[in-house]
Chains A and B, each alone.
Chain A
Amino acid sequence: MLAQPEVAVAANRPLLVADDIHRHFEGLHAVDGVSIDVPPGQITGLIGPNGAGKSTFLAVLAGTLPATGGTIVFDGVDITRQSAFRRARRGIVRTFQLPSEFARLTVLENLLVAAPDNRGDSLVGALLGKRYWIEDERRHTRVARELLARFGMSAKESDYAGNMSGGQKRLIEIMRALMLKPRLLLLDEPMSGVHPKIVLEIQRYLQDLRAEGLTILMVEHELHMVERLCDSVVVMAQGKVIGSGTMASLRRQREIVDAYLVG
């Protein structure tokens, strides 16, 4: 029903391989040689202290920021030079740290606008008139409404997304991303500023999505959340990877604990 991603050929092969990614801007090395493998069908956490470069790295993976060095291979294809929208069309969809809803579109429209394969989503298609694209529109509306129901926001479908609360905006962004049937979901602090009750809901949804085969890479601060959700974790500090593995194994590594983990 929702995300039907093509599973990677071999369950062992990472869905995304980032190799020696650098991103510097005006002398600041936000990302200083980061290499990670993102395994398919799992939730991978990306943690680290403030300023470690996690969000920048995510932006580079998504294509929002160009890498100044390194390569990114997604399901066997080198996407390093591809722009953000092309990566989105390939199935790499990101959410943003700050709320990025389309404020003056309704909640339902926020989801509909993300639906690919709409015959009315081109100049020619639009000019051909409503009858040409109404079927696609109806189909996407059904899917969007199912999503809204699943995430408990059906009543809000005609409200402006800009009027929603912080937690609701996060949900909208996640649902919007799901409309694209992504293969890799890049979440940038999805729980930040969200009411604890909704945090639990989002957590449940992410687990459901993982069960359906979606791959997720998630920047997150809340370590309890990371512990509960993530199959494995990558730790960054000062633009570099200082460790990776399960939370349990990381706790055993003294340097990491000292650098970052508390308790």
Chain B
Amino acid sequence: MNSYYAANLLVYAGVDIIALLALNLQFGVSGIVNFSFIVFQAVGAYAAAILSMPPDYAQGYDFQVYVGGYQLPFPIPWLGGAVAGGLLAIPVGLVVLRKLRSDYQAIALLVLSIITNEVITNARPFLNGAAGLALVPPPFSDVIDPNTETYQYFYVAMTAICVVLVFVVVNRIVNSPYGRSLRAMRERELAAMAIGKNPVQLKMTVFIVGGVIAGLSGAILVGFIQLWAPSVWLYPETIILFAAIIVGGRGNNVGAILGALLVPVGFEEVTRFIPSSFGPPGLIPALQWVAIGLLIIGFLWFRPEGVRPEPRHVFEGAPVREDLEDARAT
């Protein structure tokens, strides 16, 4: 079904763009190496799911076991997903972002991602463990039949609206004096403190805002694919997003969008055309991961600033010079 393929592609693209705009805000602009990013998307998806699903016993005894099940209509699941992402960011941020140096922060968040996945997998009554949640009702499914083409395009439109919304929000943050303070903190935290910036407050804010957006992306995704399990949000998923930021270009929203289109989307689409019978089972996904690793290492070596580097901010009335150099980046 071509339209389903197109809709699928567009929704995934939209979700990836939203996620990457958030990650770029945290990592590219503010320098927070959030290796646990996927957990925030996951918490948004889970929250949206348990807000929109019927109670677990209603589906038959012990079919799925989970908390919640409030059967709330749109837009509450999506809002709930966004809020969940933001709420999770608070304790995590307070613990990790306050006193650790950046590589410790990164490791702590990475390990958090691994452990959270393990815990959810093992604690079945909470979110149905390894099997995850299925039969998540898509938004407005009581009004429009989700299996129609119309609904697919409707979903794409809703996703697009969210993309625009998130883009406006992130753009305003990044291209403002606040964004400049974030970048200064990223460049040299001690010097930023010496000019009156409060790095803990800046980091916490960005972490929470990023968490909210990540949660929203999860809610959008789960409403579309109608299921969510730990295998969907293993810790390497964050690495794909980091690869996208590194490839697309750090510190700027256009770079983030470019990265989204090149890496999670472009990558998937290109490898889709390799017949799945090629090699032993599981070879293609494994090689995809190898390619992601190569992409990261390759770009960090040859072009660390990405395809579209962070643009230089020139102010109106600046003297004109021909030999303006580009950013050196690491």
Q: Which residues of A contact B (CB under 8 A)?
A: 62-64, 83-85, 88-89, 93-96, 100-106, 108-110, 112-114, 116, 118, 120-123, 125-130, 133, 136-137, 141, 145, 154-155, 157-160, 162-163, 173, 176-177, 179-180
Q: Is the CB of B195 within 8 A of A88?
A: yes
Q: Which of B194, B205, B324, B328 contacts A88 (CB 8 A)?
A: B194
Interfacial chain B residues near A83, Cβ < 8 Å: 193, 198
Interfacial chain B residues near A159, Cβ < 8 Å: 321, 324-325
B315 at the interface (CB under 8 A from A): yes
Binary contact track B146-158/A, C-beta < 8 Å → 1, others 0: 0000000000000
Provided the pairs A64-B194, A104-B327, A106-B314 are in contact, do residues A126 and B187 lie with their beta carbons within 8 angstroms? no
How many cross-chain pairs have Cβ atoms below 8 Å apart between A and B? 145
Closest 5 CB pairs of A and B: A126-B176, A120-B177, A126-B178, A88-B196, A100-B191
Q: Is the CB of B324 within 8 A of A158?
A: yes
Residue in A closest to B250 when the chains form the complex, CB atoms: A104
B319 at the interface (CB under 8 A from A): yes
Interfacial chain A residues near B209, Cβ < 8 Å: 123
Output the least CB separation between B201 and chain A (Å): 9
Give bound CA distance, A100 to B185, whole Å.
12
Q: Is the CB of B180 within 8 A of A113?
A: yes
Output the least CB separation between A195 and chain B (Å): 21
Q: Is the CB of A89 within 8 A of B183?
A: no
Binary contact track B302-322/A, C-beta < 8 Å → 1, others 0: 000000001011110111010
In the complex, which residues 191-233 of chain B have their Cβ closer than 8 Å to any Cβ of chain A? Answer: 191-199, 205, 209
Q: List 11 A-B contacts (CB under 8 A).
A: A85-B199, A88-B194, A104-B251, A109-B180, A112-B177, A125-B178, A126-B173, A157-B318, A160-B312, A160-B325, A177-B195
Q: Is the CB of A126 within 8 A of B310?
A: no
Q: Is the CB of A108 within 8 A of B315?
A: yes
Give bound CA distance, A128 to B173, whole Å.
9
Output the least CB separation between B21 and chain A (Å): 14
From B196, B315, B327, B329, name the one whose CB has the most chain A CB atoms within 10 angstroms. Answer: B196
Q: Is the CB of A84 within 8 A of B176?
A: no
Output the least CB separation between A39 and chain B (Å): 23
Q: Is the CB of B194 within 8 A of A93?
A: yes
Output the least CB separation between A260 and chain B (Å): 28
Give bound CA distance, A179 to B310, whole Å.
25
Interfacial chain B residues near A128, Cβ < 8 Å: 172
Q: Is the CB of B173 within 8 A of A113?
A: no
Q: Which of B187, B196, B327 contacts A85 (CB 8 A)?
A: B196
B113 at the interface (CB under 8 A from A): no
Provided the pairs A84-B193, A96-B194, A104-B187 are in contact, do residues A122 and B314 lie with their beta carbons within 8 angstroms? no
With A104-B329, A106-B312, A158-B321 known, 7 other A-B pairs at CB within 8 A are: A64-B193, A88-B193, A129-B172, A157-B318, A160-B325, A177-B194, A180-B196
